[in-house]
Amino acid sequence: MRRCCAAVICALIVVGCAAPLKQFYPGTYFPEDRTYQNKSIGFSLTYRGSWELITDPNRMKENKKYAQECQQSGLELLFVGFTAEKMQGTRCIVGNLNETGTEWADNVRRINTTHVDKDFGTTQDTLHGVSMVRWEYAKNEIRFVEFFFSVDTYNIRVAFWTTPDLYDKFLPVYKDIMKTLSITDRE
């Protein structure tokens, strides 16, 4: 019994002392103007409405494990966020893969085929002068739209999700957010 308790205590200490997740491409969310800016990659987005974005993977709580999984596969979860009432969500993932937006979207769709309940397909878009691919799908009674684009050799994936009854009302808002995409100088 003592060995079991000692093992549990040691395991808790090791888990509690786990190294913080490192950010390779840190970004900043400015809540006063609802703008996410990533100077290391060179882009920014401005959100409409009451969004709260978390950019530090060590503060992502329920998404920290997902941030770890992303890093283990060579990607980085740049931010996660929710509206004030938690009825809508967003996240942004980046990988230095040097793929086109179409290649990036096709690879993600192929990998997620078994996890998607209904695939509504992809659409080529040019928003604010940036070529991107939009993918719409449903999973676990939630509707998703993801936008795939590239900045230099970086492949970026911005997702939004909500309930099916709100999806059609907010898809234009998600597109408007993506229209604020600005490619900026890297630092």
Q: What percent of the chain has pLDDT over 90?
A: 69
Q: What angle do CA 89, 67, 141 make, to 5 degrees?
A: 35
Residue-wise pLDDT tens digits, 42-67:
999 999 989 999 998 888 887 888 88
Average pLDDT of the chain?
88
Residue-wise pLDDT tens digits, 152-166:
999 999 999 999 999
Residue 41 reports pLDDT greater than 90: yes
Q: What is the CATH number of domain 20-183?
A: 3.40.1000.10
Burial 64-97 (b: 16+ CB within 10 A, else e): beebeebbeeebbbbbbbbbeeeebbbbbbbbee
Residue 94 reports pLDDT greater than 90: yes
Task: Fill in the amino acid letter for 111.
Answer: I
Q: What percent of the chain has pLDDT over 70?
A: 89
Residue-wise pLDDT tens digits, 60-91:
887 888 888 888 888 999 999 999 999 999 99
pLDDT score at 18: 54
Residue 2 reports pLDDT greater than 80: no
Please state the length of the chain.
187
Sign of the C-alpha dihedral computed for residues 168, 169, 170 and 172 taken in this order: positive
- Where is average pLDDT lowest: 4-13, 151-160, 173-182? 4-13
Non-local (6+) Cβ contacts of 31 within 8 A are 52
Enclosing H/E stretch for 22: none
Can you give the residue ranges of every domain in the chain?
A: 20-183
Instruction: Quickly tell me which residue has 């997620």 as its tokens.
Output: 112
Residue 16 reports pLDDT greater than 80: no
Residue 180 reports pLDDT greater than 70: yes
Q: What angle do CA 135, 139, 142 make, to 5 degrees?
A: 90
Residue 19: pLDDT band (50, 70, 90) is low
pLDDT score at 72: 87
pLDDT score at 184: 87
